[in-house]
Amino acid sequence: MSVPCVCVAREAGEAARQELAAAELVDDAHRIEHADGRLYIPVVDPDAVPEGYEVVDRDAPVRETQTMPADLVDFEPSYERIGEVAIIDEDDPDRARALADAIVDSALPVHTVLNRASKVKGDLRVRDWEVLASPDEAEAAPTEAVHREYGCEYAVDLAEVYFSPRLATERHRVAEQVSAGEHAFDMFAGVGPFVIPFAERGAEAVGVDLNARAIEYLRANAERNDVADRVTAIEGDVRDVAGEYENWADRIVMNLPHSAGEFLDTAVALAGDEAVLHYYDIQHEDDPFGPGERAIRAAAEPEYEVTVETRHTVRSYAPHELNVVLDVRLTRR
Ligand code: SAM
């Protein structure tokens, strides 16, 4: 049967699929197909497809229905996937057990289920996990996974480093602004989900993290994605490292919501004559952008002219609290 499909070059396929999936436009009843270097992604509503995409009619094969976790439990299941690991957040042990069994028994390519056992803690932003399912013969720790995001791969150990798949769209939004040759500095780099795509786009990228294991993973991920020649990974407190990179950066990422404000003097020291700062914050919904903007102005003015280019809500964080980002251009006067 002929169905509307978005038709894109194969190399742009994953980004297009993720954008269409985020807008809930992918038609799961039909299969995505490759042909002649193009990817055909069936969509449920051709009129809602964002501008710039080509939509064609095509005989897309019907997808065989597969058993999903929702088919196996009597509640609406919620889980995230990081490679072959599923993450759940269930306080009730019976519900946690039922959901873990459903995930493993479903058609999802998942072998490990982890339940959140604490909030993210301390400077390193790592949490504890309860292992509800893992393969018997596994050599790696059950908390180790390889996550794929917009064409890049990240190895992580969730028990040792911070990583959240929820920020994929946001990271991609920022990466799309990066040009070849620019100097990009991630002050809180983790395993590299900003640094690696920046380097993929030809930037010279520096990532700093206090967590020694995160830096080991960042180096390994740079190799894994074939961008090690454009990535410098430094273990340490970014306040101690920044001296080597004063006036260097064209782009600075500050993804340490809750405490990024304490590092703004360091960010200003890193900035070159013109730099874009991506400043992540968690604030009350009544004034989500005001505190960040005021703090940035206090740190950068009058040395720099401060222009807020984007005020964007990344996601809801807690009742009445938003995770937001400000893209701010600093231009030396
Ligand atoms: N940017 C990464 C991402 O999106 O996955 C990681 C963000 S995570 C919220 C914050 C990171 O900042 C953690 O990996 C933590 O270890 C690191 N960190 C905290 N304080 C730091 C400091 N003073 N200097 C450098 N890194 C720091």
Residue from 230, 229, 155 nearest 193 by CA: 155
| CA–centroid distance, residue 254 to ligand 1 (Å) | 9
Q: Which residue do the tokens 């930037």 mark?
A: 203
Q: What is the pLDDT of residue 138?
A: 65
Nearest-CA residue for ligand 1 atom 13 is 124
Most confident of 2-11, 17-26, 147-156, 271-280: 271-280
Q: Ligand 1 mean position to 259 CA, how many Å? A: 10
This prediction's pTM: 0.81
The 10s digit of each residue's pLDDT in 135-147 is 877 677 889 999 9
Do 215 and 233 contact (CB within 8 A), yes or no?
yes
Instruction: Give the range among 28-37, 94-103, 181-190, 251-260 with minimum mean pLDDT.
Output: 28-37
Ligand 1: centre distance to CA 171 (Å):
15
> What's the whole-number average pLDDT of the chain?
94
Ligand 1 mean position, distance from CA 167 (Å): 14
pLDDT of residue 10: 87
| Pocket perturbation via mutation, ligand 1, pick of 123, 235, 279 by most ligand atoms within 8 A of CB | 123
Q: What is the token pair recorded at 37? A: 């270097």
Q: Ligand 1 atom closest to Cα of 188? A: 12
What's the first-to-final CA gap in the chain, in angstroms? 62
Q: According to the model, what pLDDT value does residue 264 have?
A: 98
Q: Is the pLDDT of residue 21 over 90?
A: no
Q: How far is the CA of 144 from the centre of ligand 1 (A)?
A: 19
Neighbours of 286 (CB within 10 A): 8
Beta-strand relationship, 129-133 and 112-116: antiparallel
pLDDT confidence of residue 126: 92
Q: Whose CA is nearest to atom 5 of ligand 1?
A: 163
Amino acid letter for position 133: A
179 and 202 in contact (C-beta within 8 Å)? yes
**Per DSSP, which regions of the chain are E strands?**
2-9, 33-35, 38-42, 54-59, 80-82, 85-88, 112-116, 129-133, 144-149, 152-157, 183-186, 204-209, 231-235, 249-254, 271-284, 304-318, 321-332
Residue 207, CA distances (Å) to 104, 127, 215, 254, 271 in order: 36, 22, 8, 11, 15
Whole-number percent of the chain with pLDDT over 90: 79
Answer whether 328's CB lies under 8 Å from 309's CB.
Answer: yes
> In 175-205, which positions are buried (b, 16+ CB within 10 angstroms) versus exposed (e)?
bebbeeebbbbbbbbbbbbbbbbbbbbebbb
Query: Region 257-268: what's the mean pLDDT?
Result: 96
Q: What is the pLDDT of residues 77-112, one digit of tens each?
A: 999 999 899 999 999 999 999 999 999 999 888 989
Distance 163 CA to ligand 1 centre (A): 10
Q: How far apart are CA 194 and CA 273, in angstroms?
A: 22
Read off the pLDDT of each residue in 33-53 and give the average, rounded to a whole number.
Answer: 91
Phi-psi sector, 52: left (phi>0), alpha (psi -120 to 50), beta: left
> What is the rounded CA–CA span in Å between residue 69 and residue 110?
11
User: Within 6 Å (CB) of ligand 1, which residues are found?
Assistant: 123-125, 162-163, 167, 188-190, 193-194, 208-211, 214, 237-238, 255-256
The residue whose CB lies within 8 Å of the most ligand 1 atoms, and thus the one to mutate among 162, 164, 170, 231, is 162
Ligand 1 center–CA 261 separation, angstroms:
14
What is the arithmetic mean of pLDDT over 162-172?
92
Q: Model confidence over 310-328: pLDDT tens digits?
A: 999 999 998 999 999 999 9
Closest residue to atom 3 of ligand 1, CA basis: 190
Count other Cβ atoms within 10 Å, centred on residue 93: 11
